[in-house]
Amino acid sequence: MGDVIREETKRRGLAPDSKNMGEVMKLLRKKRGEAAVAELCLKAVRKAGSDRVVVDGIRSMSEVETFRKSAEVILIAVHASQRRRFALLKGRGRSDDPISYEMFLKREERELEVGIGDAIALADEILSNEHAAPEKLASEIVEVVNRWVEQDAR
């Protein structure tokens, strides 16, 4: 879902850094409602034309509910400590990643204000990313999705 924000930030002629993307996200939500980002994302999902899609970057239950109006949804939360999340974000090398711990904390506060805590608390499954190698975490996510697909087929 961050890609949708990144695209909208660029469309507005702004650099896709943490501050601008955070402001664009908040403005979209203020102008179009709490599920604005999910609604924009749904347009891209529909264009993809697939019957199964994985969306990452959920920030609120309003977004989850928007997706649930269009499809069956399983919400998987991937959790790690603040220190681990900061290290992972710094390691990604994206233009919107926080460059200081203080910027990271502001980002955390913004995401909590949007409702990410509720989405994590109400997730169908929670996986830990505290010590997992990327391949291990990806494998765990595939396992959860496959289990869900198998149950859905019954």
What are the pLDDT digits (tens) for 93-150?
888 889 899 999 999 999 999 999 999 999 999 999 999 898 999 999 999 999 988 8
Q: 3-state class of 100 per DSSP?
A: coil
Q: Output the pLDDT for position 153.
A: 73
Q: How many of the other CB atoms lie within 10 Å of CB of 81?
A: 11
Q: Output the pLDDT for position 8.
A: 93
pTM: 0.83
Query: Using CA atoms, how far apart are residues 97 and 6, in angstroms rounded to an integer?
Result: 12
Q: Output the pLDDT for position 53.
A: 79
**Domains of the chain (ranges, CATH numbers):** 2-153 (3.40.50.300)
The residues, ordered by sequence, that sit 6+ positions from 39 with a Cβ below 8 Å of its Cβ are 32, 66
Q: Output the pLDDT for position 149.
A: 86
Q: Output the pLDDT for position 104.
A: 94
Angle 121-50-24 from CA coordinates, rounded to 5° = 55
Using the structure block, give the residue that is written with the tokens 């609120």: 60
Write phi, then psi, for 134 (nearest 5 degrees): -55, -40
pLDDT at 49 over 80: no
101 touches 52 (CB < 8 A):
no
